[in-house]
Amino acid sequence: MGGDVKLYSYFRSSAAYRVRIALNLKQVPYEPVFVHLVKDGGRHKHSEYRAVNPQMRVPALALSSGETLIQSMAIIEYLDEAFPDPALLPTDAAERAHVRAVAQIVACDIHPLNNSGTLAYLRKLGHDDATVNAWYADWVTAGFEAIEKLIRPGPYAFGQHVSLADLCLVPQVYNARRFKVPLDAFAKIAAVEAACNKLAAFEKARPENQPDAE
């Protein structure tokens, strides 16, 4: 499958960032296809990309089979099933639920309220940058307060092995830093981020290391 895989991505998309980490960890080679979310009114809204992903969001993962997968969490779970080593979910059912819970705090609670489309709509409604940034910080802080209490002894979010929780958390921390959200209260989260960023799979996936970075 390898070289025939295409990842439709945008360097600043935290959802695409998660999938890049997963592909790197699984050592699945892929061809990046860049979909700029701002230029030309947002190229994800153009008919060419709508034919790839009717939801008009990134990421999308095109497989050599002709299948195209959408939604980062579904893509990552597919990769974990298709390429089980290293596993991103524990073998114990309860532990899997704990890992998924932290991942979903990011992917389902924080991210949808803070993605580029949501922030653009707030501006369309007439809110200034200060208000939009306060909105962003409020939801990140609320989610991180919960995650800080749920993280297990490290170095990663759930112990000695990287999990789905780390793949979701690290991109969200990256974005929080970009928006200058105060993170001093989240020492455990910062430690997890630091441990993950020592790994080549995370470093290679960072936004500034993507060919489309600006």
Q: Give the tens place of pLDDT for each residue, 58-97.
A: 999 999 999 999 999 999 999 999 999 999 999 999 999 9
Handedness of CA 122, 13, 22, 206 (dihedral sign): negative
Residue 7 main-chain phi, psi, to 5 deg: -110, 115
Q: pLDDT at residue 202 above 60?
A: yes
Asked if pLDDT for residue 150 goes beyond 80, the answer is yes
pLDDT attached to residue 41:
85
| pLDDT higher than 60, residue 120 | yes
Predicted TM-score (pTM) of this structure:
0.95
Contact 183, 177 (CB under 8 A): yes
Tell whether 108 and 16 lie within a shared domain.
no
Residue after which a domain boundary falls, among 44, 67, 86: 86
Q: Is the pLDDT of residue 2 over 90?
A: no
Asked if 99 and 80 sit in the same domain, the reply is: no
**Domain of residue 166, residue span:** 93-201
Residue finishing a domain among 23, 51, 86: 86
Q: Which of 49, 67, 86 is the last residue of a domain?
A: 86
In 82-177 the beta strands, taken as DSSP E runs, fall at: none
CATH of residue 71: 3.40.30.10
Q: What is the dihedral of CA 199, 100, 143, 148, to 10 degrees?
A: -60
**Model pLDDT for residues 7-60, shown as the tens digit of each residue:** 999 999 999 999 999 999 999 999 999 999 888 888 999 999 999 999 999 999
The better pLDDT of the pair 14, 2 is held by 14
The number of domains in the chain is 2
Instruction: List for the chain the helix, strand, coil content (%; round to 5).
Output: 55, 5, 35
Residue 189 within a domain? yes
Q: Identify the three-state secondary structure at position 211.
A: coil
Q: What is the pLDDT of residue 3?
A: 55
The confidence score (pLDDT) of residue 214 equals 87
Are 63 and 122 found together in one domain?
A: no
Residue 209 forms part of a structural domain = no
